[in-house]
Amino acid sequence: MTHQNDYTFADEIVEKGLAAIPELMRVLINNAMQIERSKYLQAEQYERTKDRKGHSNGFKPKTVKTRMGEITFAVPQVREGGFYPSALEKGLRSERALTITLAEMYVQGVSTRKVKAITEQLCGVEVSAEQVSQATAQLDEVLQEWRERPLGEIQYLYMDARYEKVREAGQVRDAPVLVATGITPQGERQVLGVSVSLSEHETHSTRDASQWKAFFKSLKARGMNGVKLVISDDHEGLGAARRAILGSVPWQRCQFHLQQNAGAYLPKQAMRAEVAADIRALFNAPDRRTAEEFLQADIQKYARSAPRLSAWMEENLAEGFTVFDFPLEHRRMIRTTNSLERANKEIRRLTRVVGVFPNEASCLRLVSALLMEISEEWQIGKHFCTSKSLNC
């Protein structure tokens, strides 16, 4: 696949992307202002030169309302006065152009060359590759701190995986992107973590299994506890990792994906609507006993007309019944991974524009920024239950 250098953004994609990058805007403008102060003083911070025109005097916070919400910048001060960074004012006047261009740059992996050109164009300050790399490192530090933040009690744990194209050593490879979300005892949804990893020395299946295992371990190491149910699809490697790390925790296989999977075992497509209705009926049963009765009836029903489907039903559908062991008020939200799928949809809206990420770090950077924003929106949004506790 040929690497693309330029991308055209639809307004819809840009609008979604803007919500993910206020931290990036803050970091870049802060760095541009520091560079401008150094040029004004003709000396770097703590540097002694005969050409120095004044002295640094720390920073003063300034909160600015932008179309992405309030952003607090650190405005550099000069002890002798007479200095105010034009980078901030230029950046704010050109906010629309800045944020759109940053969105374009961001999904390309925060290219040093691209950021350098944007900063010079919009802020009027020439910056070096080293200075831009420093700004990128600061952003990565913020995202890493979020990914490694302490966790607490999580009652319902959702897991999902997708693959993104990543260029490595001249080859385009599929990088597994693992995402975990959860619901606290207070009914609050959170994005718990994300992992992106490539390994040269493992097969596809062993790589997935080892990454899932490491992912589960990282969540526990950060303090995740109290899990009562794991909800996921039947991803390769996930089952073994889940049993190894959370062996005593029940598993609910996503009912939506189970129903979709049934289509692969139909002898003719004309049966699709009927089979889908039968599967929905057993998943919507009032209790496990009734669901199991429906399942046995379906196995017998399709034993002759669709033997592969019948065998698949017997082997797989009961994995979607764990939800019947939980409160009726919770079942709608824990029977599928649909809430996590919606987060994945937001990720796809931007990653599809990238096509191929230039490296693993750029993929992790973009996905982390989007998930961090989604998690913040969840925390101030509607909770899982209307009461103060999941014991509703």
- pLDDT per residue over 244-260, tens digit each? 999 899 999 999 999 99
Q: Is 81 exposed, middle or buried (0-12, 13-18, 19+ CB in 10 A)?
A: exposed
Identify whether the C-beta of residue 160 lies closer than 8 Å to the C-beta of residue 154: no
Which of 114-128, 262-276, 289-303 bottoms out in mean pLDDT, i.e. has the lowest? Answer: 114-128
What average pLDDT score do residues 320-328 get?
Answer: 94
What average pLDDT score do residues 195-209 get?
Answer: 64
Count of C-beta atoms within a 10 Å radius of residue 68: 17
Which of 46-55, 88-97, 194-203 bottoms out in mean pLDDT, i.e. has the lowest? Answer: 88-97
Mean pLDDT of the chain: 78
What is the 3-state composition of the chain as percent helix, strand, coil, each rounded to the nearest 5? 55, 15, 30
**Token output for 375:** 């998690």
What average pLDDT score do residues 69-88 get?
Answer: 80
Integer Cα distance of 233 and 161 in angstroms:
9
Integer Cα distance of 323 and 258 in angstroms:
14
**Global pTM value:** 0.70
Q: Structural domain boundaries of the chain?
A: 11-147, 156-380
pLDDT greater than 80 at residue 121:
no
**Token output for 212:** 């899932």
- The crossing angle, in degrees rounded to 10, of helices 86-93 and 22-41 is 150
Rounded to the nearest 10°, the torsion over CA 219, 221, 227, 233 is: 30
